């Protein structure tokens, strides 16, 4: 990424939004893993997906979260589904919201896609519950 003097407003907004949705730890890992090869791609998604689409004001982060998970599930992007399920802790999308979104996937994109996404969601929620239980036990 270019120095701060060359960083666009969309990039700065994108990093703020990306951190609020995915969390600092995830964004820090992604930034640290960027190389000269994929730095332009990281800039593109930060400016466009996070600095424009996710930073829009018409929908809430909760609504964007539900739509994003449904789209990713319909397209079979498993790692992204899991990442965005984890992000629901920051977006306010409830488990019931995600269940309903995946019910739409079943009808409009196919039962196998929804079935697989539900399996992913159940696994991620189990991990999140275990982590929360571990924190509560401390």
Q: How close are the terminal C-alpha atoms of the chain, in Å?
A: 39
Give the residue numbers spanning the domain of 71: 59-138
d(CA 16, CA 11): 9
At 6 the pLDDT is 76
| 16 plus 77 within the same structural domain | no
At 22 the pLDDT is 97
Domain containing 134 — which CATH number?
A: 1.20.1290.10
- Using alpha carbons, select from 80, 15, 27, 1 the residue that is nearest to residue 51: 15
Low-confidence ranges of the chain (pLDDT < 70): 1-5
| 30 plus 67 within the same structural domain | no
At 5 the pLDDT is 54
| DSSP codes joined into one string, 97-134 | HHHHHHHHHHHHH-HHHHHHHHHHHHHHHHHHHHHHHH
d(CA 121, CA 98): 9
At 94 the pLDDT is 98
At 34 the pLDDT is 94
At 45 the pLDDT is 96
d(CA 86, CA 96): 14
Number of domains in the chain: 2
């Amino acid at each position: 990424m270019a120095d701060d003097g060359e960083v666009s407003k969309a990039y700065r907004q994108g990093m703020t939004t990306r951190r609020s949705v995915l969390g600092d730890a995830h964004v820090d890992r992604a930034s640290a893993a960027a190389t000269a090869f994929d730095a332009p791609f990281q800039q593109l998604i930060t400016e466009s997906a996070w600095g424009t689409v996710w930073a829009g004001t018409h929908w809430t982060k909760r609504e964007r979260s539900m739509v994003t998970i449904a789209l990713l599930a319909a397209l079979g992007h498993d790692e992204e589904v899991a990442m965005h399920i984890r992000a629901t802790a920051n977006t306010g999308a409830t488990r019931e919201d995600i269940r309903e979104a995946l019910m739409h996937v079943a009808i409009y994109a196919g039962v196998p896609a929804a079935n697989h996404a539900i399996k992913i969601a159940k696994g991620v929620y189990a991990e999140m519950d275990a982590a929360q239980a571990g924190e509560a036990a401390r």
